[in-house]
Chain A
């Protein structure tokens, strides 16, 4: 199981939970599992998210592996100039 930390603005979509546990081996798995657990998360995920794994920010990739025991944060999609 992976503990996914959400940003606090998402609590209204998860019944107040800011940490959601899902089964996922990759970043893509993780997003699909999040939506299965909390369908309302489809909105923010469609709007664009990045995923931080042990501090490394995965901007867009859905195939990045999630090592066991890693710290995972969902973030809003990063943009640059």
Chain B
């Protein structure tokens, strides 16, 4: 879209006001997913497969149905006979199959039946009355084993056009891209390193479990309250799975207790609605933590082979990567994204990347902050670090030498617009952290990271009130303070105080379609939409002023919250403040609102560079992170404090992924660590303060220059920490997490 009158001087944008929803969230008043109830409400519970892979021979629900406190029991049969859309296809079918197992249970924790009862305890008790006969099948949970010729087949025919002939049916997508001639490039290199890397699946670990309250009547009209990153996708998916018209289901997003990509799809919502339809009463469903780990969407696990050639001066002459990603029992592992992002920070003449999407008996992977990118960066940036070490080169200098910039042909194809990688590297080099002395036993690592960012379908509506205040309705749930940034952008355009703008997350019945809060798109896309909607309202304000002055509309401009004549020839009139115009709007043409509906296509890619110091106890292999600095290009930071928060949060999650977090499956294919005791996310005493540097290289695709900041921050940490640990321990770590037993074993092996 055309981006006129780009701004670079700001009044409100770039300030750090208190967030509008702060009071509710510090007093316990804010309503999250599990905090809602309704008259006559029932409580649901879901029965889950104890097997990694099993044919469901028979489900007998009669005893549960006979229980007096049980009001409904549902199985897959309650979803399959849908009157409107008999043939669910593609991703809808995958989601349905994941929400409630069909012929087979495909992973430990796969839902097979559900009940609704008069209390949560009664519902849980009733699950024990459901009898399921399973025929246990061979299973596979490891990505490399799932690709092997003798691996159990999870589903025949799931592969698409892209998979080369002869691959195992568990390989369902194949991606290959790049340019130049890598073999020629390797021949030119002074040193070529080829190495292999493995990462385990991790979970987003949002503290709020999935929760919803659904009501669906026999008239096909429904209400759904749920914790989600996108209530329109929840609406669309639930309607499809239940066979009702999309518009008949109104979905309201609760406050959301963290998502990070994991709440971009549905799990329990269609089940609550199906139970409600059967019981004819509202049904609340809340996952336990164990259900969250077993049956929502963790990341892919990955197995990767990297080969990079470098000249003595640090020039990368060729780079090649093979990325195998396991994404659970359904297509969707982002092997293509891993491949496209892995080498994106560098200006490469010869590059080739291959990605595989592989199915295994695990829960369907979901997005997690820059899905696919962190593992690839771990592998690639580890090899670059090793090359620097062997050639005696400074790791920042080498990255600067090879860094992509405006006009560079990206590893995934096109040429870059204006980007900020070089600026982050220069900031890293100049940062006191990079030159600070290290103590014995400590090591320093750096890494760059890349993420595409996303625009997506967006609707925003802004209504002015007679008193001159404004209400802004957006459709992207506020996960990390986005109400504040929306209000800042609206204030900037309208010229009224930040405090005079009330931002509401609208439900699906009161605003047009909105894509999910993902792809770091909220401040970019809802922000752009907010700016456009506010400008739309400003146009109308100018029209009213022009009419009152009896001059043409184009002779009026908007300045500091007032309509003013656009120049000396327009006439001599006193400025009319917004509130002066809105006070009379009812009698001068009616209410004044602005709106915007479109799909902004200019998200602008983003880069970051992280510096980390780690200390390793050589006797136990235990790592502590002693210092951490995040440097990332935000394009333009609308609310810098919340931008810092995104950087710090991404780094902290990366630290967990690098050091201790992992899905651990037993020989039986069951998840062994489905509680926070054993799925070890960082606690307060594990972390240092996390320093941040906000680099601002404006995105040409946004009127204020915004780039998404939510995801890029988790791309560099895995590699930066692996490099720091490898230097501290004196041995290259090729497997994540770098848990103490793995580090100690590596130290022993190294002598």
Please report A residues at the B interface, Cβ cutoff 8 Å.
5, 7-9, 12-13, 40, 43-44, 47, 52, 54-61, 64, 71, 73, 75-76, 78-81
Interface of A is mostly: mixed
CA–CA, A61 and B701, complex, Å = 15
Contact of B602 among A56, A75, A81 (CB under 8 A): A56
Q: Contacts A8-B176, A75-B340, A81-B711 given: A44-B601 contact, CB under 8 Å?
A: no
- A59 with B416: CB separation less than 8 A: no
Residue with the highest number of chain B CB atoms closer than 10 Å, among A7, A54, A61: A7
- A81 with B452: CB separation less than 8 A: no
CA–CA, A7 and B178, complex, Å = 7
- A75 with B413: CB separation less than 8 A: yes
Contact of A47 among B160, B261, B366, B416 (CB under 8 A): B160
CA–CA, A47 and B117, complex, Å = 41
Residue of B nearest to A42 (CB): B161
- B contact residues around A64 at 8 Å (CB): 601
User: Is B518 engaged at the interface, CB distance under 8 Å to the other chain?
Assistant: yes
- A57 with B160: CB separation less than 8 A: no
Contact of A8 among B178, B368, B417 (CB under 8 A): B178
- A contact residues around B727 at 8 Å (CB): none
Q: Contacts A9-B177, A43-B160 given: A80-B521 contact, CB under 8 Å?
A: yes
CA–CA, A5 and B410, complex, Å = 13
- B601 with A58: CB separation less than 8 A: yes
The 8 A-B residue pairs with the shortest CB-CB distance, nearest first, are A80-B519, A81-B261, A81-B367, A43-B161, A9-B176, A52-B414, A7-B177, A73-B413
A66 CB to closest chain B CB, in angstroms?
A: 12
- A79 with B519: CB separation less than 8 A: yes
CA–CA, A75 and B452, complex, Å = 12
Contact of B453 among A5, A13, A47, A80 (CB under 8 A): A80
Q: Contacts A7-B176, A7-B177 given: A78-B452 contact, CB under 8 Å?
A: yes
B358 CB to closest chain A CB, in angstroms?
A: 16
Q: Contacts A9-B174, A59-B456 given: A80-B161 contact, CB under 8 Å?
A: no
User: Is B228 engaged at the interface, CB distance under 8 Å to the other chain?
Assistant: no
Q: Contacts A7-B176, A55-B417 given: A81-B455 contact, CB under 8 Å?
A: no
CB<8 Å pairs between A and B, sample of 30: A7-B412, A8-B178, A8-B352, A9-B177, A40-B161, A43-B161, A44-B161, A47-B160, A54-B414, A57-B601, A59-B454, A59-B456, A60-B599, A60-B601, A61-B599, A61-B601, A64-B601, A71-B414, A73-B413, A75-B412, A76-B175, A76-B336, A79-B454, A80-B371, A80-B454, A80-B456, A80-B711, A81-B368, A81-B370, A81-B518
- B contact residues around A54 at 8 Å (CB): 414-415, 417
- A contact residues around B175 at 8 Å (CB): 7, 9, 76
- A80 with B701: CB separation less than 8 A: no
Count B interface residues, CB 8 Å: 50
Residue of A nearest to B406 (CB): A55
B419 CB to closest chain A CB, in angstroms?
A: 9
Residue with the highest number of chain B CB atoms closer than 10 Å, among A9, A52, A56, A73: A9
Contact of A81 among B177, B369, B415, B701 (CB under 8 A): B369
- B contact residues around A7 at 8 Å (CB): 175-177, 412-413
- B603 with A59: CB separation less than 8 A: yes
Residue of B nearest to A77 (CB): B336
Instruction: Identify 11 new A-B residue pairs, CB closer than 8 A, beyond the known A9-B177, A80-B518.
Output: A5-B414, A7-B175, A8-B177, A40-B161, A44-B162, A52-B413, A57-B601, A59-B455, A79-B367, A80-B371, A81-B369
Interface of B is mostly: loop
B520 CB to closest chain A CB, in angstroms?
A: 7
- A contact residues around B416 at 8 Å (CB): 55
- B contact residues around A79 at 8 Å (CB): 334, 337, 367, 371, 454, 518-519
B324 CB to closest chain A CB, in angstroms?
A: 15
Residue with the highest number of chain B CB atoms closer than 10 Å, among A40, A64, A76: A76
CB-CB contacts of B541-571 with A at 8 A, as 1s and 0s? Answer: 0000000000000000000000000000000
- B337 with A71: CB separation less than 8 A: no
- B contact residues around A58 at 8 Å (CB): 601
- A contact residues around B326 at 8 Å (CB): none
A15 CB to closest chain B CB, in angstroms?
A: 15
CA–CA, A27 and B456, complex, Å = 16
CA–CA, A52 and B456, complex, Å = 15
- B contact residues around A8 at 8 Å (CB): 176-179, 352
User: Is B260 engaged at the interface, CB distance under 8 Å to the other chain?
Assistant: yes
- B contact residues around A59 at 8 Å (CB): 454-456, 599, 601, 603
User: Is B350 engaged at the interface, CB distance under 8 Å to the other chain?
Assistant: no
Contact of A13 among B161, B174, B336 (CB under 8 A): B161
B304-361 interface (Cβ within 8 A of A): 334, 336-337, 340, 352
- B602 with A80: CB separation less than 8 A: no
CB-CB contacts of B414-444 with A at 8 A, as 1s and 0s? Answer: 1111000000000000000000000000000
- B contact residues around A44 at 8 Å (CB): 161-162
A14 CB to closest chain B CB, in angstroms?
A: 12
- A56 with B413: CB separation less than 8 A: no
Q: Contacts A8-B178, A76-B175, A81-B518 given: A56-B417 contact, CB under 8 Å?
A: yes
B563-618 interface (Cβ within 8 A of A): 599, 601-603, 605
CA–CA, A73 and B518, complex, Å = 24
A40 CB to closest chain B CB, in angstroms?
A: 7
Q: Contacts A56-B701, A71-B414 given: A81-B264 contact, CB under 8 Å?
A: yes
B386-417 interface (Cβ within 8 A of A): 410, 412-417
- A contact residues around B456 at 8 Å (CB): 59-60, 80
- B contact residues around A61 at 8 Å (CB): 599, 601
- B contact residues around A55 at 8 Å (CB): 410, 414-417
B115-167 interface (Cβ within 8 A of A): 160-162, 164
Contact of A5 among B161, B368, B413 (CB under 8 A): B413
